[in-house]
Chains A and B, each alone.
Chain A
Amino acid sequence: MLHLMDPINSALRRVPAWLLYPLGALPVAWLFWAGIRGDLGVDPVKAIEHWLGLWGLWLLIATLAITPLQRHAGLRLVRFRRAIGLLGFYYIAAHLAVWLVLDVQIPAQIWGDILKRPYITIGMVAFVLMIPLALTSNNWALRRLGGERWRRLHRLTYLVVPLGAVHFVMVVKGWQVEPFYYLAAILGLLALRLRPGRMLRSRSAART
């Protein structure tokens, strides 16, 4: 397995991580352009809102997949994780902005919706929890916090991403399968991180 990944990994080493930012901006630009042109069907606001939310969720799920892919398949993508995570944050921020500005439109109703509607409350909580992660996704913050504190903070991802999927499960009408696939994938990716042996060892180490 490792031998198989070697050429891929060495090719990936030559790809600069910053390239992901302009690449990640392209779908968003295309989405708004298509909406203006009328290519997104008769309700472009909902379409843009939905695609931004869905692509944001995909990117966040991708960040969770990077460690298991390295550990179990030998694929080294850690260099790209920051860019993928930040892009996920930007997509979700854009999703939220479209909801506020183009969909709900009425400021008084927005606040009421955030407080009263559990799926919006959960979505907002997940977004707010992402803000410190986005703000500390740079080398300066990493140095200031120190590796251990930075890692502990960024474990919030394990909460944020499932909350995003729960938000999706709750927003659809009836029991639709698609959001459950994402929730299951996320829980699977989180389960791959659990290493019972190591957890027991670190717990007994903490006790001594």
Chain B
Amino acid sequence: RAGLSAKPSQYSTVEEPTSYEAVTTYNNFYEFGTGKDDPARNAHMLTTEGWQVQIDGLVDKPGTWTMDDVLAGTTLEERIYRFRCVEAWSMVVPWVGFELADLLNRVGVQPSAKYVAFETALRPEEMPGVRTRVLDWPYVEGLRLDEAMNPLTIMATGVYDEPMPNQNGAPIRLVVPWKYGFKSIKSIVRITLTEDEPPTSWNKANGREYGFYSNVNPEVSHPRWSQATEREVGGGLLAKRKPTLMFNGYGQEVASLYDGMDLAKYY
């Protein structure tokens, strides 16, 4: 393996990471198909060479960044995070990345900015899944600025100390470990600082099931299933369910972001 020599982080969990095989073959990345194994089968079609990320909106230095620009001067860290999907399965993933706050500080966030919007690449010739309108493409996501600036929020460029596999969102993706997995948008081509809450793909598709915040919350059910427990992927045929933790266990770091908010209303 390549060996990104990422530095260990105080934010990593001590839990045992899910196997590399599970992390890289069990994916939701609907641009490459809705089956869990479709991304691993189809994402090789994505060309990541020459990748560019446009950063615009309410920033001091808007512009288009190459991956070299993005990574220049950053220190890659290994962040071993719990990952909880809205479908009630979970993993432990050793991400490699850097804090989003670091990138946002480099572009200079203007005082009027309150949200960060993200957009995934849309390339019909490389993404067989976008031929059907499962979602309104391109995939978009968003965070409140204080969520984006939280040290737990990272831009990931690798897993298991090697460059990000395409099916996991190469070359650069968001990871927000206290929110359901779909918030952690993959293969990002655009980051826009905005004053208003940006639209998000799953919220547009079904607002009753997927809220803007989508914080992991065992007490607020998804309308079609309970979120109280989860099945850890890779545990085999007889894996026991385990209780889901509020904010996916990251309450100490992030609960204060939501002081005074009714999380059943802002789900």
Contacts and interface: CB of A to CB of B under 8 A. Distances in A.
Interface string A34-60: 011010011111101000000000000
Contacts of B205: 174-175
A75 B226 CA distance: 47
A82 B134 CA distance: 37
B155 to A, nearest CB: 25
B22 A42 contact: yes
Instruction: Determine the main DSSP class of B at the interface with A.
Output: loop
A121 to B, nearest CB: 11
A40 to B, nearest CB: 9
Contact of A42 (B224, B228, B233): B233
Contacts, number: 67
Given A103-B231, A109-B229, A41 B224 contact: no
Contacts of B89: 43, 46
Interface residues of A, number: 30
Contacts of B18: 42
A129 to B, nearest CB: 22
B30 A43 contact: no
Contact of B226 (A42, A102, A113, A119): A113
Interface residues of B, number: 34
B87 interface: yes
Given A45-B237, A102-B238, A119 B30 contact: no
Interface stretch (A22-30, A84-92, A132-140, A165-173): A165-173
Interface in B212-254: 221, 223-226, 228-229, 231, 233-234, 236-241
Interface of A: 35-36, 38, 41-46, 48, 102-106, 109, 112-113, 116-119, 170-177
